[in-house]
Structure 1
Amino acid sequence: MNTYRTRAELKAEVKSLLTGNWGKAIGLYIIPLILLFISNGYSNAKSHVSIRYDVSNFDIGHIARYASSSGIISYLLSLVFLLIVLSATFRGLDWLEDPELSFDPIKSNFTYFRGPDWWHLIFIYILLSIFTFLWTLLLVIPGIVKGIAYSQSYFVYKDTNDRGQADNYSLTDYITKSRQLMVGNKWRYFGLQLSFIGWWILGFITLGIGFIWIYPYYKLTMANFYRDLVSKSNNII
């Protein structure tokens, strides 16, 4: 039986990494955070509907969904935002794996604009959106469950590419591997998400200023969750 790290252990490892490195972490995630606020604010103004943050998926999914409702231009911009957010997210995973890693926080937001395979991430996003939408047509709960099952797809993409295994994978394989990794781990993931509710409340109380520190902490914790999954699932990846 696999013994995974507890929520407290995952967070403690991230806090240890952030100690003395907050400036680096803020620099890495400040652009994605600004884009998140701008996109939500723009969509709110266009729709005149109050947009609430979903603490179970506080990421680029919000940007793409809401921006797409404002027209094709906004949707295309959301795909650019996707690459920026994932570039930062992936650098965060690299940093966790090598705490002494030297990198430029701002330039790291644009890593996947310089690579030839940026379109892979966009098509994975489109596939995830389609699959989750189809499950949601059944009922909301199955859609949420599948969304959690697919939550590691982007990390699987990065990991397999870093290991030189990408030639053996199709785009749907990354989603399948995520689903396999999350077997028996959906409640762990959901519980980890819920553990940040207090932080989100604090962020709103501080009129968004607190998110400058909360967002890096959250994103790195989610990356650490993936590291923990893979360390106990070598037969899957």
Structure 2
Amino acid sequence: MEIAPMNTYKSSAKLKGISKEQLFGHYNTVIGALLLVGIITLFIVYIPSMFITARNIPELIIYYLISFIVSLFTGLLTSGEAFLYLKLICGQPISAGDIFYGFKACPDKAILLQFVFSLLTYICMAPSAVFYYLYLTTYQAVYMLLMSLFSVIGAIIIIIASLMLSQVFYLLHDFPQYSAKELLKMSRQIMKGHKGRLFYIHLSFLPLYLLGLLSFCIAFLWLIPYTNTVLANFYMDLMKNRNQQHQETKSE
């Protein structure tokens, strides 16, 4: 992963400090939004299991196809969450209802962006899912080994691609006139040299989430909004430095 050049980009600790200040007095709102997203997402995830039991290959294919189609609608909620946290870090009033903003602001693009993420995930994890099914039907150890191997390979690809495209939903709200293809391209561009930074930020939260497990995940109600605020500030930091660099280039 790339290492960002020397510049004025904020450190992980700085981003976290800013985020804590911005969240002060807003936890009730962001926790309410988190619960709404969680309940809706849980319902969406369980829709396929209501219709398909996946007892054989054809049913397994239909199950994943339904799961894929249903997952596209989570892009609307992801878009709404990005909007909420952008408002928060910009000092604007927020409400839990902001998570539904994605349903009225470029919903087609949000679904297309989610399509890319979902397709990437399913393609990367499809081989391991097939080998897992073969293992369950034959109990041959070789299939379990292949499943593990392809799971690791798929996970690595997903992580790298997710880091590369991580800014698309923020960009959607800052550049609503852009097409989904342009947003994906712009995310790749602004993340050049910064995927390592973002990966480190995610890793830095790992100890907190492990501790959160001791609270039976109750602490996640505070940790997840905290993480989301830091990620929104990471985006804002990227864009401020990008704009500054463009201005300096023009003045030369």
> What is the TM-score when the length of structure 1 is the normalising length?
0.73
Once the two structures are TM-superposed, the CA of residue 128 in structure 1 deviates from its matched residue by 3.7
Cα distance in 2 for partners of 1:8, 1:40 equals 34
- Structure 2 stretches of 5 or more lacking a match? 1-5, 55-60, 128-149, 247-252
Alpha carbon RMSD of aligned pairs, Å? 3.2
The answer to whether the 8 A contact 1:132-1:146 is kept is: no
Give the letter for the 2:187 counterpart.
S
The answer to whether the 8 A contact 2:9-2:238 is kept is: yes
Match of 1:12 among 2, 5, 17: 17
- Structure 1 stretches of 5 or more lacking a match? 49-67
Give the letter for the 1:85 counterpart.
T
CA-to-aligned-CA distance 1:49-91 (integer Å, 9 cap, x gap): xxxxxxxxxxxxxxxxxxx984555444433333123202211
Q: Is 1:179 matched with 2:181? A: no
**Structure with larger Rg:** 2
CA-to-aligned-CA distance 1:28-54 (integer Å, 9 cap, x gap): 322123345566688899889xxxxxx
Match of 1:102 among 93, 96, 119: 93
Q: Is 1:218 matched with 2:227? A: yes
Larger fraction in helix: 2
Give the letter for the 1:82 counterpart.
G
Cα distance in 2 for partners of 1:40, 1:231 equals 36
Cα distance in 1 for partners of 2:62, 2:75 equals 16
Cα distance in 2 for partners of 1:31, 1:69 equals 28
The answer to whether the 8 A contact 1:157-1:174 is kept is: yes
Cα distance in 1 for partners of 2:192, 2:79 equals 24
Cα distance in 1 for partners of 2:80, 2:215 equals 27
The answer to whether the 8 A contact 1:132-1:147 is kept is: no
- Alignment match, 1:200: 209
CA-to-aligned-CA distance 1:143-192 (integer Å, 9 cap, x gap): 4322211111121121112xxxx1xx332111111111111111100000
The number of residue pairs the alignment matches comes to 207
The answer to whether the 8 A contact 1:83-1:112 is kept is: yes
In structure 2, the residue corresponding to 1:151 is in which secondary structure?
Answer: coil
> What is the TM-score when the length of structure 2 is the normalising length?
0.70
- Alignment match, 1:227: 236
Match of 2:29 among 5, 24, 42: 24
Aligned-pair identity in percent equals 28
Cα distance in 1 for partners of 2:12, 2:53 equals 37
Please give the residue correspondences for 1:14-163 in structure 2 after superposition, counting only pairs within 5 Å: 14-36=19-41, 70-97=63-90, 99=91, 101-105=92-96, 107-115=97-105, 117-130=106-119, 139-140=153-154, 141-161=156-176
CA-to-aligned-CA distance 1:130-150 (integer Å, 9 cap, x gap): 456678899543443222111
In structure 2, the residue corresponding to 1:232 is in which secondary structure?
Answer: helix
